[in-house]
Structure 1
């Protein structure tokens, strides 16, 4: 943990860092590939809409029969309609059969009681009309649209329109991946799924705003200096918030993973899968998009501005001049004559100049000066 903290401090100070912006084309390619896979899965398999959206009947009964056998008996009693069976606590099962109306539900209830060898009154029946599910779907779309509009307005006012556009693209990216995973896995879409989707949008936006806030602070009066370009400042902002994003994402994923794998997988509480899968996939996708999608998109949009292009040219010219000066100094040092070796092998530091007065009078008997 101390090493991780040390790395985080060095990332924050800019002493070390990874070039996220420079490799943005790789991240764009990965995101496009994942998004296309999600869209293809959604188009081919479609979403397994829950009974709350499609309408039908829900039967609850207490039995010791296995879920697979109950599913087979329920589909047979419903005349071929697909049945979804979930194990509940206390030995009860929940049977969902879409497309059943009131007249069809009564014979299915009686047949289920007969197959499960229990009284008819012990099979609890609940009918859900398709109009109610359509109303829920319309309200969910309306809420999602209002959320998106408010997000764009807030980011455009608090930061700038480029950041608002990048955040909107990142949110659509997260939504598409999450819905695509639902289609590929075949999990049922329920009102809990809608709640999970709205929750992950807020979480994804939180990570993105943290990076944007750091970028906004670091890019103040950027055009007045010639040390860094906008892309380099954006890259430093990502690195300075990287450890925080990783920590918050891991801490959030751990309890969600417990709901998904332990609650839904081992304990058999299938209703937890509705919200936990949306949260798990959305949190991971949101952390990815805030680092690899949103900020690189902002850098691409900002680099198209004339003042940022001029800044990049000034920075490049200054660095070229500094490199030329350094190369000139190295050439001067290499062209200087090497010092001669002394008789004993030691290098002579420099020529020794003897005063002229010390050589006068040498060779005369008296040595006196005349």
Structure 2
């Protein structure tokens, strides 16, 4: 732990440096590949949408002695061959079975088969169904919420930082989080439920918060950058990212650990369900969001401003001063506020 904090101090002082900006094109190229793969995977594998999005029938069976998928799925398939049952344990003695939408008669037959097959009471088996219209309505509301969130985020970022380039870089980072996270869901086959979407939107808020913290430090470092001759603009941006790297890592770890605990409890103790759905999206998204802030949003902001005349002039002035003083064209160690 001491080494970690010592490393953090070196990053803050400029004694050590991670080339977030210096290798911006590399990070963005890697990001581009990940985004492309995340867009291609759903086209090949599709998404595993939950019953709330695609509609269907659902059976909840309590007080069962066998929670293995085979038994429950076979019981349903024996009654309705093309029902495509999917069993998920929701506890040590409870399971949930989702199927394609069944008729009332079919649902009653399946209920009777489950009561007999699991040797439980009639009241231990409950059934519900979700029509395709309701699922479509949920999907539309999800997309509407996403558009509203991104729109508000763009406006708030632009007003807060008073520059559209920071706002654009932050929003691109958000889109990377969205695309990569959904790509992971598609590749792994994790079920997308309303609870997962709630967790996903929460992650976007975390990503935005993390980006604001880093950008705030960058803005502090680059204030009146034209008058500074110890560091170039790009180096000031990179220093700001390095100075907040440990904080960003700590925030992410502090967030991920309890989420991982909830995920563990949900999977191994309570069984899959709402707890798992929301914690899984939070777990994946938080990790992706932290990486996006450091390796996408911040380097992209530096690149967006690289061709500004004032930035070019300042960087050239710093370079000439270093050469004039017989120094290498590399950032010096900073032991005080820049």
Does the alignment reach a TM-score above 0.5?
yes
Q: What SS class does the counterpart of residue 57 from structure 1 fall into?
A: strand
Q: Hey, what's the Cα distance between the residues in 2 that align with 1:292 and 1:207?
A: 12
Q: What SS class does the counterpart of residue 326 from structure 2 fall into?
A: helix
Q: Does 1:278 align with 2:261?
A: no
Give the equivalent residue in structure 2 for 1:157: 159
Q: Is the 8 A contact 1:56 1:101 kept in 2?
A: no
Give the equivalent residue in structure 2 for 1:345: none
Q: Hey, what's the Cα distance between the residues in 2 that align with 1:65 and 1:312?
A: 69
Q: Hey, what's the Cα distance between the residues in 1 that align with 2:78 and 2:299?
A: 55
Q: Hey, what's the Cα distance between the residues in 1 that align with 2:313 and 2:270?
A: 61
Instruction: Report how far residue 236 of structure 1 moved.
Output: 0.3
Give the equivalent residue in structure 2 for 1:28: 28
Give the equivalent residue in structure 1 for 2:334: none
Alpha carbons of structure 1 residues 57 and 154: separation in structure 2 relative to 1, 3 Å: same
Q: Hey, what's the Cα distance between the residues in 1 that align with 2:327 and 2:18?
A: 27
Instruction: Report how far residue 101 of structure 1 moved.
Output: 4.1
Which deviations, in whole Å up to 9, do the C-alpha atoms of 1:83-128 show, x marking residues without a partner? 2212233612211113224343223223333433445454211122
Q: What SS class does the counterpart of residue 19 from structure 2 fall into?
A: coil
Give the equivalent residue in structure 2 for 1:322: 325
Instruction: Report how far residue 239 of structure 1 moved.
Output: 0.8
Q: Hey, what's the Cα distance between the residues in 2 that align with 1:179 and 1:324?
A: 48
Q: Is the 8 A contact 2:203 2:286 kept in 1?
A: yes
Matches within 5 A, 1:26-175: 26-62=26-62, 63-68=64-69, 69-89=71-91, 91-159=93-161, 160-175=163-178
Q: Return 5+ residue gaps in structure 2 as ranges.
A: 329-338
Q: Hey, what's the Cα distance between the residues in 1 that align with 2:43 and 2:139?
A: 19
Alpha carbons of structure 1 residues 277 and 121: separation in structure 2 relative to 1, 3 Å: closer
TM-score (norm 2): 0.90
- Greater alpha carbon shift after TM alignment, 271-280 vs 136-145: 271-280
Q: Hey, what's the Cα distance between the residues in 2 that align with 1:18 and 1:263?
A: 36
Q: Hey, what's the Cα distance between the residues in 1 that align with 2:135 and 2:56?
A: 10
Give the equivalent residue in structure 2 for 1:10: 10
Q: Is the 8 A contact 2:91 2:269 kept in 1?
A: no
Instruction: Report how far residue 7 of structure 1 moved.
Output: 2.8
Q: Hey, what's the Cα distance between the residues in 1 that align with 2:135 and 2:246?
A: 42
Q: Which has the larger radius of gyration?
A: 1
**The one of 198, 202, 207 aligned to 2:201:** 198
Q: How many residues align?
A: 324
Which deviations, in whole Å up to 9, do the C-alpha atoms of 1:142-184 show, x marking residues without a partner? 1111100010001111111001101111111011111111111
Which structure has more RCO (C-alpha within 8 Å, separation ≥ 6)?
2
* Runs of at least 4 residues off by over 6 Å: none
Q: Is the 8 A contact 1:230 1:302 kept in 2?
A: no
Alpha carbons of structure 1 residues 26 and 324: separation in structure 2 relative to 1, 3 Å: closer
Give the equivalent residue in structure 2 for 1:179: 182
